[in-house]
Structure 1
Amino acid sequence: MTTTPKQPPAQLRDVPSSKVNEDRIEPAGSLPDLHPEGGFENERFLDRELSWLHFNARVLELAEDPDLPLLERVNFLSIFASNLDEFFMVRVAGLKRRIATGLAVPAANGMNPIDQLELLLTSAHELQTRHAKVYSDSVAPDLASHGIRITGWDDLSAAEQKTLSEWFVAQVFPVLTPLAVDPAHPFPYISGLSLNLAVVVRNPLTGKELFARLKVPDTISRLISIDGPRAAHSSHRSARFIALEDLIAVHLELLFPGMEIVEHHFFRVTRNEDLEVEEDDAENLLQALEKELLRRRFGPPVRLEVVDDINPQIMDLLTRELGVEEDEVFKLPAPLDLRGMGVIAGLDRTELHYPKHVGHTSRFLNESETAKAANVFAAVRRRDILLHHPYDSFSTSVQAFLEQAAADPKVMAIKQTLYRTSGDSPIVDALIDAAEAGKQVLALVEIKARFDEQANITWARKLEQAGVHVVYGIVGLKTHSKLSLVVRREGDKLRRYCHIGTGNYHPRTARYYEDFGLLTSDDEVGEDVSKLFNQLSGYAPRSTYNRLLVAPRSVRTGLLAHIEQEIRNAQAGVDAKVVIKVNSIVDEAIIDALYRASQAGVKVDVIVRGICALRPGVPGLSENIQVRSILGRFLEHSRVFIFANAGDPLVYIGSADMMHRNLDRRVEALVSLSNEEDIADVISLMDRYVDDGTASWHLNADGQWDRHYKDEEGNPLSDVQFWLIQDHFQRRNSGRNS
């Protein structure tokens, strides 16, 4: 049943441009200080960067959990390593750059930047040591018990060594490039995240020892199968691997003929790889970004990882030549860079993985349809369809929507935002097909999406060559909103169909990212999305919206207005509650508003996957706020905002996290739901997320996270993701839908 759309308050439907930064003004009313005896030294915000490290510690807890399937634990080890790499490349690098240039200011919690950097490095050292220990003391032995081993050269038979040596000579040796360091050869450039060998050789004639660097090629698989691919995917045979760097190490004499190999050690460098593009000065954004991508390769080092048995003289040479400080050196047991464990995590050993999951097609996309593929337009005309991925299939909903739009002769135009997508994206293919069929196609490609810049440049040029109108958004803003607009001629009228989501148009990540999406043909939403696309592709700075909140103009102000209304409702003795589900919450204005709501008696539930600068449960400040975090099989990625609204609840979904970059420097969109069933389902689901019977992490007032996953008798608490898998299956078979 579709109900009349719930309208946001009038002040949210027409926010004049003069109010763009109004939400930066300190709100009326004051917040009490946190008392020193509480141990918080008058700080009402948790440190943003340290909170991120706490998030990655929660990922590590999953790798440590013996109750999880073994290869999923391996996967969490790999994810932890990849996450920490990005943290150093962006957050630590950015902090160091600001300190060096004198631009660093105290953090929101008052911490001095230099003290903050010292604390982050200390915490990162502890986490990396713990990460390595989990692998060596727990995961590796458990893998060995299932016949999966990373073995050493001396553990192989003579026949196996001969086979691998022949393979090395044919497939690896030609790729390697040893670089000497002597008066004629300066210390070579060490690329970021590359694994390297520091080699010491001796001239047998002179006795002189020399240093050389050898890069482990990243174009060859890090782990080489010894028993063959069939054994690697069989539960009845062993799956043994040798690390590529170890294979190179035992063949060093081939690279330095006539020299004696004295010693070798592994090391790895992390560099500043954040991008800085001054768009106002860039005549061509693509060209400017390509130059910046080239410069990124030569960013200054921010971390040096070395094996813990490295020769002190070699380490001194590396630190001196690379210019890293002592506290930026991480001594770890081999193997370095456990991202390479992804090869093992991907083994087809079903008994060591989570049970297989395939998303189901929404009942509303199959209702009254006899064709093999549902007519998405007919289904959306009947009612709004709320999708919940990966429980609802992306390919039979969003992807089908765009593919049918490309093939439908009645479709006149397609407009699409692309922030991240896969290398073989059917979404991109659909846009190309539509353009080649003569439809008007606009693609807003965000080429500044971090670490996807080069891929997005490639897709932008491919789209342009096919006749798609490609634009890059508004100068100074990243376009992070997730929007599709299809204009279709039906009789003598044009009807607009929209998809507004919380996640990227990425078919692969849609299989393991948890996200919401709304398919609708509602006239007001269609008008709003049309206005937003016109603003992105042309000039429409004074656009106003009915069902959307759009950053940087009205997401913060709109949410603040809703929170203030909940405060007034609580004071009036009517239903008042706020539920926020985001990836991160840092924005001080939003947090302070939630503190005021708590003091007014509003119950506030925050569900956050990553960073949280809010302190819950502080007497006199936030005792009515609880913060939960859920990590697991799927990456919790959706953003949901619920307001009790005196018994007539408002629910928004969209792309915006509660961070300065999202609210001030990005184009984000939130849409209010109008279908009563959808609203009730989302509210019920969020209630389950925060229920004490659901496995989750609980944030304490001191900034520490406690994992709650078993009851007092030691029985596991409910896993909301597995419950959703079963619930969607049952709903589909019982004729209900989420």
Structure 2
Amino acid sequence: MTELRWSVPSAERLNELLAAPPPLGLRAGPTQRTFHRDLYFDTPDGDLHRRGATCRLRFGVDDRRALALDVAGVAQCESRVGELEPRHIFGGDAEPARRLRAIVDPGRLVLQVELEIERRIRPAHLPVVPVPQFVLAYDTITARVGGGEGPCEFHELAVSRRPWSVIPTARFARAIERRYGVTRASADRVARTTALRTAPPSLARQTAVLAVAHGRLALCRSGAALRLPLEDGGGEDACRRAMRRAFGSVEGEVRLLGVVPAADRGVAIEVWLVRRLRRDLTAVPPGALQWFAPQDIVARVGSPVLRDATTLSALAVAARSELVPEWSAAPLVGDTAADRGTTDETSRLTLSELRVPTLPAKTLDAARPAADQFINGFLSALEFNARVLALAEDPGTPLLARLRFLAILSTNLDQFFMVDVGALKHEVATGIVERSPDGLTAAEQLDAIAIRLRPLVARQYRCFRAVTQALAAKGTRIRGWGELTPGEREPLERWFAADVAPVLTPKALTRAPGHSFPHLGDRRLSLAVMLRDGPDGPVHFASVECPPSLPRLVAAVAGGAVPLESMVRAHLSALFPGREVVEAHAFRVTRSGDIQLDELGTASFVQAIADELRRRPWGPVVRIEVERTMPPLLRELLQRELRFEESALQSALGPSDVYEADGPLDLGGLGELAGDAARPDLDYPPFTPRDPFAGERCVFDVLDRGAVLVHHPHDSFNASVERFVAEAADDPDVAAIKLTLYRPGGPSRIAEALRRAAARGKDVSVFVELKARFDEELNIAWAQSLEAAGIHVITGLATLKIHAKVALVVRRTAGRTRRYAHVGSGNYNPDTARLYTDVGLFTADEGITEELHALFNELTGSSRPPQAAFRRLLVAPTDMLDRFLALIARETEHARAGRGGRIRAKLNGLADCTVIGALYRAAQAGVDVDLVVRGICMLRPGIPGLSARIRVVSVLGRFLEHARIYHFANAGAPEYYVGSADWRPRNLRRRVEVITPVDDPAARARLARILELELAEPGAWTLESDGSYSRRPPAS
């Protein structure tokens, strides 16, 4: 069947054609996707080409291989082949191989061109007769020429006429050209690839040069901004021109690292690596070129000094290339004689020396937000995870705690990909071009994330090896199956046969008839297996998933543990009888965790969220993790097949989404080993919290005398919050209990107390927020369980999350009604209460409890967000933002009037640009601002004229800092506040939050002491103006 082809200028235009109806009034049928890879061979001097012959080897996604030979268009033959390697295929018995050997010595054949064709096919049929008249194919061709050059990409529309069609081919072709405005493509894709490679440089392509010498990388300096040397055009000539312009010399070893496709940036960017550069120091103006250590560049990527879009794209290519090991701090390429004299000492800087001392005057206007005023939020989140890793790397941290920090980092990165990277990829896929407050597009942020993240992952696995070696020296080892003795294996063999083998399911990785490509579960540890049907048989691929219901680390008899995948790998032959297991490698895919909920159109939150949770495992893949030893063939197979998933249409995978692990995948499972109760000598010393309500008196009698501030876990959660709810449930004088639950965790005394209260006829109202990300299923179970106990359950508000941590008890005694409240920063969860630092205020203050009661009444009596005006409480989204801005403005006015001004706050995140602007204005007026921000912070401290009076520290340690405390000096009449809200847009604008004032002198003094200690904490990190962090020396 003859095929006609037309050139399509871009991937976007190809997608538009796919969505458009066919011409001539035809109707389009369903779309199918296929993929194949074509390898074209010839001799180095082009013997086949001169004879008019073409030799093509095709690989399909179903593991089928076919060899085709076309001689001058008159003698054509094609046959299936079973051999894997081209040299074996050319020497085989297939007819094309025999004919090929008659023309040329197959030993001289080399790969000339490789084409990867991703094809989307849809039939076109008459309106009333569903019989295809034509088949339209929308092809994306990724082409590589022999010699390892980077890929180029082009797009085509192909049409083939069915034999029974009533429409002539010529008529349909004319209609295609008139309707779509496309031109006929070259008949020879190989020639087109060669033409693209040999075409003269043009403005449609740029070349970025990455020069490396003495372990440092060269960047051009323009004021305070840095970028890679760049030249218009492509190819080695453009690379040499860029070298002459930047370094005054064209001498050096050059190699193409890769190409950033034009679809991503408007122009294609070739990224060239230069080593052994000979630089002419007299040809470049002093200071125009600087050499930086890779760790300095990685730490500042995305900051104001290093956010040029082209430079970010090029550095992202370099970050994933094995040719640039400096990115992961691997051993550097040897310092050879050719390298000497490449850089002068005056050009060697750290980026710390380039921190911007001042900003332009227009940027110093805090009333007008500008990109240079902000740190990128996603990169700030990665900085937080780098600090978690630093705790795992710290030899002063107990060994089991170091394991826990590694596990926490792994879990954090999973969620970072599921939420943040997934959101950015969705923006790119849907064409959203909105910039972040610091001025970066979604694509630029993804580049910056990739550059920073790969060295972080490499550090994570170096730390893992160091910690496991130290644990082995203490008698706790993680061992592979091959390291066990026969005696140690025997009980594990029995357990494997009884509990593991029955739940393992081998799945073929193929699209052969009768086999769909298997669904790869989200964050499920799996093995990709390469198999043969006998020693000389064809290669097949399969996957085996390690069930998440089984332990990640299996306890060994002689101590230590064995990774589950090591056991499964050792028993694969039993799953594939009659086949040879060639090799097997672990992999893991991460899918976007976002759920799309129509909150205004649903009749039931429970049902709507349950429906969305069933769809979440089918979300687009945003990351593929593979063992370092996995061969490229298997990596490409996984990446290619995952692109075919329907869900992947919104977020296409690419090489930048594959992350290599130099050790076991999913280090989150290390938490199992870190919980080893038998080795207290390897952990933090035991911790005993105090009882804040010590004595025989009931909680309500204590609160009648005054407020009580609790600071968990130093104050017992069990003896305070759980006791408060339990006594309310059992007290016959209590009439009502009202409570919010955001992440309540598993079974607890609070749940038991609420059921008792309902059984005793008390009025119990509980707000269970079903939209708490990744806890939705658990919270649905809570809501259903409490409802079954007769409790009035509210499952959320449309478009808002109820994030407030508040409880109210209404009690009638001695002829009067009293209300008692708890307003806190932490979840009503006993498990996290032992691990997180949180603050909470117990109070019977009539002003506070009356307003809290009014808020509860609004939430139970209406489906709208809260509308009432509050005088004591700060409630979001009603008035909290305005109240905080007023408090900051008051400090600003005090400072301007000469009364001084001071703001102190402890919070999890600072990302609201309006609040940041208010803090800048306060600092400009003379207010001292001291902030303890655990995680994301988009404010840039320490900039003269803008934020010189602002100091930001981050405290991490044994417990996760989770408290929110706010202090305003108020010219000698200080005010303190605690509650659930951070200074982030989601807390101030899209959630129900509660912050309460703290009036009790003892409670205020304790809050002041907490702030003083944490601002001076040894081992804390100080945020610099460029977004990097420097750590104070730990306590001796």
Q: CA deviation at 1:102?
A: 2.1
| AA at the equivalent of 1:697 | W
C-alpha deviations, 1:219-251, integer Å up to 9, x for none?
A: 110111112xxxxxxxxxx62211110000011
The question of whether the paired residues in 2 share the 8 Å contact of 1:414 and 1:485 is answered with: yes
Structure with the higher fraction of residues in strand conformation: 2
The question of whether the paired residues in 2 share the 8 Å contact of 1:95 and 1:104 is answered with: no
Match of 2:819 in 1: 496
The question of whether the paired residues in 2 share the 8 Å contact of 1:406 and 1:431 is answered with: yes
The question of whether the paired residues in 1 share the 8 Å contact of 2:380 and 2:936 is answered with: yes
Which TM-score applies when normalising by structure 1? 0.88
Matches of 2:360 and 2:902 in 1, distance apart? 20
| 2:413 corresponds to which of 79, 84, 89 | 84
SS at match of 2:714: coil
| 1:218 corresponds to which of 539, 543, 548 | 548
Matches of 2:995 and 2:979 in 1, distance apart? 4
| AA at the equivalent of 1:441 | V
1:695 aligns with 2:1019: yes
Matches of 1:400 and 1:575 in 2, distance apart? 43
Match of 1:485 in 2: 808
Q: Which runs of 5+ in 2 are unaligned?
A: 1-358, 644-652
When structure 1 is superposed on structure 2, of 297-306 and 114-123 the one drifting more is 114-123
C-alpha deviations, 1:314-347, integer Å up to 9, x for none?
A: 1110010112210110011221110111111111
The question of whether the paired residues in 2 share the 8 Å contact of 1:387 and 1:516 is answered with: yes
When structure 1 is superposed on structure 2, of 587-596 and 108-117 the one drifting more is 108-117
The aligned runs of 1:526-565 (5 Å cut-off) are 526-539=849-862, 541-565=866-890
Larger Rg computed on CA atoms: 2
| AA at the equivalent of 1:696 | A
Matches of 1:178 and 1:526 in 2, distance apart? 60
Matches of 2:729 and 2:531 in 1, distance apart? 62
The question of whether the paired residues in 2 share the 8 Å contact of 1:563 and 1:593 is answered with: yes
SS at match of 1:267: strand
C-alpha deviations, 1:259-289, integer Å up to 9, x for none?
A: 1111111100000012221110111111000
Match of 1:262 in 2: 582
C-alpha deviations, 1:24-59, integer Å up to 9, x for none?
A: xxxxxx994458xxxx99610000000000000000
| AA at the equivalent of 2:438 | N
When structure 1 is superposed on structure 2, of 79-88 and 251-260 the one drifting more is 251-260
Q: CA deviation at 1:416?
A: 0.5
Matches of 2:535 and 2:469 in 1, distance apart? 45
Match of 1:656 in 2: 981
| 2:742 corresponds to which of 419, 434, 445 | 419
CA spacing shift, 1:356–1:32, aligned 2, 3 Å: farther
The aligned runs of 1:601-612 (5 Å cut-off) are 601-612=926-937
Match of 1:190 in 2: 520
Matches of 2:536 and 2:893 in 1, distance apart? 86
1:159 aligns with 2:487: yes
Match of 1:112 in 2: 441
Match of 1:330 in 2: 659
CA spacing shift, 1:312–1:519, aligned 2, 3 Å: same
The question of whether the paired residues in 2 share the 8 Å contact of 1:688 and 1:694 is answered with: no
C-alpha deviations, 1:640-699, integer Å up to 9, x for none?
A: 1100001010000010011111111100000000112211221232122112x6331000
Q: CA deviation at 1:87?
A: 0.2
C-alpha deviations, 1:579-600, integer Å up to 9, x for none?
A: 1111000000100100011111
Match of 1:473 in 2: 796
The question of whether the paired residues in 1 share the 8 Å contact of 2:770 and 2:779 is answered with: yes
| AA at the equivalent of 2:835 | Y
| AA at the equivalent of 1:212 | A
C-alpha deviations, 1:519-565, integer Å up to 9, x for none?
A: 11111111111111112111384312122000012111101000000
SS at match of 1:706: strand
Matches of 1:94 and 1:431 in 2, distance apart? 38
Matches of 2:742 and 2:360 in 1, distance apart? 38
1:428 aligns with 2:751: yes
The aligned runs of 1:396-411 (5 Å cut-off) are 396-411=719-734
| 1:66 corresponds to which of 395, 406, 419 | 395
Match of 1:350 in 2: 680
1:149 aligns with 2:477: yes
Q: Kindly, what percent of the aligned residue pairs are identical?
A: 44
Matches of 2:867 and 2:663 in 1, distance apart? 58
Matches of 1:322 and 1:638 in 2, distance apart? 41
Q: Quick one: higher RCO (CA 8 Å, sep 6+), 1 or 2?
A: 1
1:307 aligns with 2:627: yes
SS at match of 1:621: coil
The question of whether the paired residues in 1 share the 8 Å contact of 2:770 and 2:796 is answered with: no
CA spacing shift, 1:291–1:490, aligned 2, 3 Å: same
CA spacing shift, 1:497–1:116, aligned 2, 3 Å: same
| AA at the equivalent of 1:646 | A
SS at match of 1:169: helix
Match of 1:582 in 2: 907
Match of 2:153 in 1: none
Matches of 1:588 and 1:206 in 2, distance apart? 65
Matches of 1:162 and 1:378 in 2, distance apart? 62
Q: CA deviation at 1:574?
A: 1.2
C-alpha deviations, 1:341-366, integer Å up to 9, x for none?
A: 1111111211111111121101xx22
Matches of 1:190 and 1:352 in 2, distance apart? 37
1:621 aligns with 2:946: yes
The question of whether the paired residues in 2 share the 8 Å contact of 1:150 and 1:242 is answered with: yes
Match of 2:498 in 1: 170
| 2:611 corresponds to which of 291, 305, 311 | 291
| AA at the equivalent of 1:251 | H
Q: CA deviation at 1:158?
A: 1.7
Aligned residues: 660
Q: CA deviation at 1:496?
A: 0.5
1:451 aligns with 2:781: no
Matches of 1:133 and 1:678 in 2, distance apart? 45
| AA at the equivalent of 1:404 | E
The question of whether the paired residues in 1 share the 8 Å contact of 2:742 and 2:772 is answered with: yes
| AA at the equivalent of 2:577 | P
Q: CA deviation at 1:474?
A: 2.3
The question of whether the paired residues in 2 share the 8 Å contact of 1:442 and 1:469 is answered with: yes
Matches of 2:892 and 2:765 in 1, distance apart? 42
Match of 1:242 in 2: 562
| AA at the equivalent of 2:399 | L
| AA at the equivalent of 1:694 | P
Match of 1:438 in 2: 761
Match of 2:453 in 1: 124
Q: Which runs of 5+ in 1 are unaligned?
A: 1-29, 228-237, 711-715, 718-738
| AA at the equivalent of 2:530 | V
| 2:994 corresponds to which of 655, 669, 687 | 669
Matches of 2:560 and 2:977 in 1, distance apart? 50
Match of 1:508 in 2: 831
SS at match of 1:494: strand
Matches of 1:123 and 1:351 in 2, distance apart? 35
Match of 1:273 in 2: 593
